[in-house]
Chain A
Amino acid sequence: MTDYKRIVRDGLWDNNVVFAQMLALCPLLAVTGTATNGLGMGLATTAVMVVSGMVIALFRSMVTPEVRIPVFVLLIAAIVTLVDMMMNAWLHELYKVLGLFIPLIVTNCAILGRAESFASKNPVMASAADGLFMGLGFTLGLVVLGAVREVIGSGTLFANAALLLGEPFHFMELTLLPGYDGFLLMILPPGGFLVLGFLLAGKRLLDARRSRVAVQPEPAPDAEPVAG
């Protein structure tokens, strides 16, 4: 029986690609100069993760452990290339914005990581769900990191979101600090490392506080004795 609740929790928080597994840092730091870029990269990666998870789960019983890595890499690369071609041909407006990020997805070790640790051991639907929520967790990481860097770096939030999502989303483009000169370091790669470091520390703090809260009731007299 697949525990979908577990998959959701793992993907979004407990085992988040960025904040817990710390995978995919190369595309992460490269594209998160703005929240919009992070969102675009996250959504494209999510799509690839769902499809690659399903395909790998489909073939999982056939593939021997000796050749699994080359086979997975081959499948992922083929899927990414197909997505790239199809978007270029049929979703050209979106491609012009996201096209830059698609080839980067091949280098995303998070996808191979999920193929190896989840899709190769689980049925197709569970793998699709895992891909979806891991992808959304990755998107969350990218957007948060991009937003922090964008606000500190250039004083805006979701700049050029209308280019990515279409005109109706113009309202998302905010200038939080008008007349702000910008803080170049945040937009450049070192800013990515700095912000990621602070965000990781923040998550650890939150998790630590939560586990303290969870432990506290134990000495209380009305607490149920723990079995074993």
Chain B
Amino acid sequence: MHKTNPEPEYRKRLGYSAALLGGFAMLAGAALTLGHVQTRDDIAARLAEDRKASLSQVIPAALHDNDLLQAPLALALDGAESKTFFRATRGGAVSAVAFEMIGQGYGGAVVVLLGLDRDGKVLGARVIAHNETPGLGDKIEVKKDRWITTLEGHSLAELGHDGWQVKKDGGQFDQFTGATITPRAVITAVRNGLDLFATHREELLAMSTKDENKDKMNKKKQD
């Protein structure tokens, strides 16, 4: 730094630098806290809107009369980790469920939001987070390619485990030119989701919005 007059004595002390650094750290901390408090509610609201928007893409509005974000069901799966299921109800009965599945893509995890009807048929699937190669693997995004909509209307009962694969592996679904791992990851994630639904179908569908039914279910299980 260019200086014409000599530095004042106090600036040469170690304490000045320490206090300066501490002061700026406090300033930055205060600014961040303030920013966080100011934006916290808005960010939460935006995230809820996003979630609702992506849920509405995998569960048609005609299928439900409830708020999809309300009272999601957390089921403890094997391995003690629990998964959140968003349930669409119409007239008090569960008409569809939506949940996230994760597949291993080329660039890491591919998160797929999957919507299924009561019979385990795919209502819609959307990739909500991925890190695949732009221009190749990112065709799994519905904004860039219609590929993911080819999954709609199919079920495990219809195609079987062998059908739920990319064509290269002997299944029903197209891979992309130059990218097989990415669509494979999506299909595998969806297939695992279908399996999961088949295993937990009773719990996911039988429970209505009333708690009494839940108790009945539990009792039945105990018997």
- Interface of A with B (CB < 8 Å)? 33-34, 37, 59-60, 62-67, 70-71, 74-75, 77-78, 81-82, 85-86, 88-90, 92, 96, 120-121, 150, 153-154, 160, 163, 181-182, 184, 187-188
Q: Closest approach, in angstroms, between the C-beta of A30 and any C-beta of chain B?
A: 11
- Ordered by A's residue number, 29 sampled pairs between the chains whose C-beta atoms are within 8 Å are A34-B135, A65-B1, A67-B17, A70-B21, A71-B20, A71-B21, A74-B24, A74-B25, A75-B24, A78-B32, A81-B35, A85-B36, A86-B39, A88-B43, A88-B46, A89-B39, A89-B43, A89-B46, A90-B39, A90-B42, A92-B46, A120-B1, A121-B1, A160-B144, A182-B135, A182-B177, A182-B178, A184-B178, A188-B133
Residues of A within 8 A of B17 (CB): 64, 66-67
Confirm or deny: B2 has a beta carbon within 8 angstroms of a beta carbon on chain A.
yes
What residues of A have a CB within 8 angstroms of the CB of B178 in the complex? 182, 184
For the complex of A and B, list the 6 residue pairs with the smallest distance between their C-beta atoms, beginning with the closest.
Answer: A89-B42, A89-B39, A78-B28, A33-B134, A92-B46, A67-B17
Smallest beta-carbon distance B85→chain A, Å: 25
Residues of A within 8 A of B20 (CB): 62-64, 67, 71
Question: Do A121 and B2 have beta carbons less than 8 Å apart?
Answer: yes
A86 near B21: Cβ-Cβ < 8 Å: no
Q: How distant is B84 from chain A, measured CB to nearest CB, in Å?
A: 22
> Complex formed: what's the CA distance from A59 to B28 in Å?
13
Contact between A86 and B11 (Cβ–Cβ < 8 Å)?
A: no
Near A by CB (< 8 A), chain B positions 15-59 give: 16-17, 20-21, 24-25, 28, 31-32, 35-36, 38-39, 42-43, 46, 49-50
Minimal beta-carbon separation of A160 from chain B (angstroms): 7
The reply to whether the CB of B159 lies closer than 8 angstroms to some CB of chain A is no
Contact B39–A88 (Cβ < 8 Å): yes
Closest-CB distance, A70 to chain B (whole angstroms): 6
Q: A64-B16, A67-B20 are in contact. Are A82 and B1 (CB under 8 A)?
A: no
* Interface residues, chain B, with chain A CB atoms under 8 Å away: 1-2, 11, 16-17, 20-21, 24-25, 28, 31-32, 35-36, 38-39, 42-43, 46, 49-50, 133-136, 143-144, 177-178
Cα distance A60–B2 in the bound complex, in angstroms: 11
CB nearest neighbor in A for B7? A64
Known: A82-B35, A88-B43, A163-B143. A74 touches B135 (CB 8 A): no
Known contacts A75-B24, A150-B135, A184-B178; can you find 6 more A-B pairs with CB under 8 A?
A: A34-B135, A62-B20, A64-B17, A78-B32, A121-B2, A184-B133
User: With A and B bound together, what is the CA distance between A65 and B7 in angstroms?
Assistant: 11
Please, how many angstroms separate the alpha-carbon atoms of A48 and B136 in the complex? 31
Q: Which of A60, A89, A154 has a CB less than 8 Å from the CB of B135?
A: A154
Knowing A64-B11, A86-B39, the reply to whether A37 touches B24 (Cβ < 8 A) is: no
A106 to B16 alpha-carbon distance, docked (Å): 27
Q: Please determine whether B28 and A75 come into contact, CB atoms closer than 8 angstroms.
A: yes
Choice from A59, A81, A90 contacting B32 with Cβ under 8 Å: A81
Tell me the complex Cα distance, A35–B139, Å. Answer: 18
The distance in angstroms between the C-alpha atoms of A63 and B39, with both chains bound, is 30
Residues of A within 8 A of B36 (CB): 85
Q: Which residue of A is nearest B34, CB measured? A: A82
Residues in B whose Cβ lies below 8 Å from that of A92? 46, 49-50
User: In the complex, A75→B2 CA distance in Å?
Assistant: 22
Q: Is the CB of B31 within 8 A of A67?
A: no
Shortest Cβ gap from B129 to chain A (Å):
10
Q: How far is the CA of A181 from the CA of B43 in the complex (A)?
A: 40
Chain B: which residue is nearest A188 at the CB level? B133
Within the assembled complex, what's the spacing in Å between the Cα atoms of A179 and B211? Answer: 58
What CA separation (Å) do A64 and B28 show in the bound complex? Answer: 18
Which residue of B1, B21, B32, B50 contacts A67 across the interface (Cβ within 8 Å)? B21
Q: Which residues of A contact B35 (CB under 8 A)?
A: 81-82, 85-86
**Measured CA separation A66–B18 after assembly (Å):** 10
